[in-house]
């Protein structure tokens, strides 16, 4: 893919050609212009761009062109990116992260900690996002205890810090990737982003469907292989951040596969970012609204 700088270099070439044509049309020689490069910059800076169409962000300063052309000290036209490009990058990042719909709902501010275990979970999550070292965060156990909420808040904070992040809902994404297993290149492409993205949030790791008798199925060999490929790759690249939530706690994951559980445990417990919420029905938000009689 072209970088913003490459796109603008192309635009610059285009402007030069357009300018040359204009000179021909008006039958003026280059010498008749006081400073052709300066004029070219002015033409560029008067243009109205359309970056806002893609991201909905309107910038009065650069009129949505994304930057300005100015003459450098030695008289060459140089492109300067507008400050709005930071905001545009973040919007793009958020959209491709898969979290756009949840980000305002599942914030740290909206996570109301009324019980000590909730305070602890929130504190651990906030320490994690402020940690300058790249670590892993794991929260397991108890369905409906707000694990997705806290992990989304973590991921959103990393997006705000300018990191690239991706939300992987395990069951959906694993099904998609496993279906590509026989198609080498497509499979590699699908898993590559998950392996290499700066921040990966795996929601509901090893969440399985129920079989015909209503029993929750065990992860298959294909599930375990996929999880291992992903976890092991990220484990070996020390600059990647991984956030994992699961209804299974660490020892249950270890029972499924020791290598996977061991790696998650090692990197998340290093600084106390491994949290197991014990099974207790009162911790289930979804049940809380229902009076148990």
**Contacting Zn ion (CB under 5 A), which of 40, 41, 62, 274?**
62
**Contacting Zn ion (CB under 5 A), which of 10, 21, 28, 61?**
61
Among the candidate windows 2-10, 80-88, 120-128, 281-289, which touches Zn ion by CB under 5 A?
Answer: 80-88
Among the candidate windows 59-67, 128-136, 137-145, 182-190, which touches Zn ion by CB under 5 A?
Answer: 59-67
CB of 49 to Zn ion, least distance (A): 9
Give 49 or 144: the residue with its C-beta nearer to Zn ion: 49
**Contacting Zn ion (CB under 5 A), which of 15, 59, 202, 275?**
59
Among the candidate windows 34-42, 74-82, 174-182, 197-205, which touches Zn ion by CB under 5 A?
Answer: 74-82
82 belongs to the binding site for Zn ion (CB under 5 A): yes
Give 63 or 164: the residue with its C-beta nearer to Zn ion: 63
- How many Cβ atoms are within 10 Å of 4's Cβ, its own excluded? 15
Among the candidate windows 35-43, 51-59, 92-100, 128-136, which touches Zn ion by CB under 5 A?
Answer: 51-59
84 belongs to the binding site for Zn ion (CB under 5 A): yes
Two tokens at 13? Answer: 């070439």
CB of 82 to Zn ion, least distance (A): 3
Which residues here bind Zn ion, judged by CB under 5 A?
Answer: 59, 61-62, 82, 84
């Amino acid at each position: 893919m072209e970088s913003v700088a490459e796109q603008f270099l192309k635009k610059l070439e285009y402007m030069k050609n357009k300018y040359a044509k204009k000179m021909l049309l008006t039958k003026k020689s280059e010498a008749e212009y006081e400073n052709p490069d300066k004029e070219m910059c002015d033409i560029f800076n008067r243009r109205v761009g359309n970056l806002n169409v893609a991201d909905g962000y309107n910038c009065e300063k650069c009129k949505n062109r994304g930057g300005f052309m100015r003459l450098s000290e030695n008289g060459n036209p140089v492109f300067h990116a507008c400050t709005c490009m930071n905001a545009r990058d973040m919007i793009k990042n958020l959209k491709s992260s898969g979290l756009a719909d949840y980000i305002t709902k599942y914030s740290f501010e909206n996570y109301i900690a009324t019980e000590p275990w909730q305070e602890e979970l929130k504190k651990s999550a906030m320490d994690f996002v402020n940690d300058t070292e790249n670590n892993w965060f794991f929260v397991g156990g108890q369905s409906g205890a707000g694990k997705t909420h806290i992990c989304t808040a973590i991921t959103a904070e990393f997006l705000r810090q300018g990191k690239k992040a991706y939300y992987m809902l395990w069951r959906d994404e694993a099904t998609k990737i496993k279906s590509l297993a026989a198609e080498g290149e497509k499979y590699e492409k699908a898993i590559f982003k998950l392996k290499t993205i700066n921040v990966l949030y795996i929601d509901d790791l090893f969440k399985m469907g129920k079989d015909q008798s209503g029993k929750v199925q065990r992860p298959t060999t294909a599930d375990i292989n996929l999880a291992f490929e992903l976890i092991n790759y990220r484990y070996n690249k020390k600059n990647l951040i991984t956030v994992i939530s699961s209804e299974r706690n660490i020892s249950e994951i270890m029972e499924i596969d020791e290598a996977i559980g061991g790696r998650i445990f090692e990197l998340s417990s290093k600084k106390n970012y491994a949290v197991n919420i014990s099974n207790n029905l009162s911790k289930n938000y979804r049940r809380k609204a229902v009076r148990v009689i």
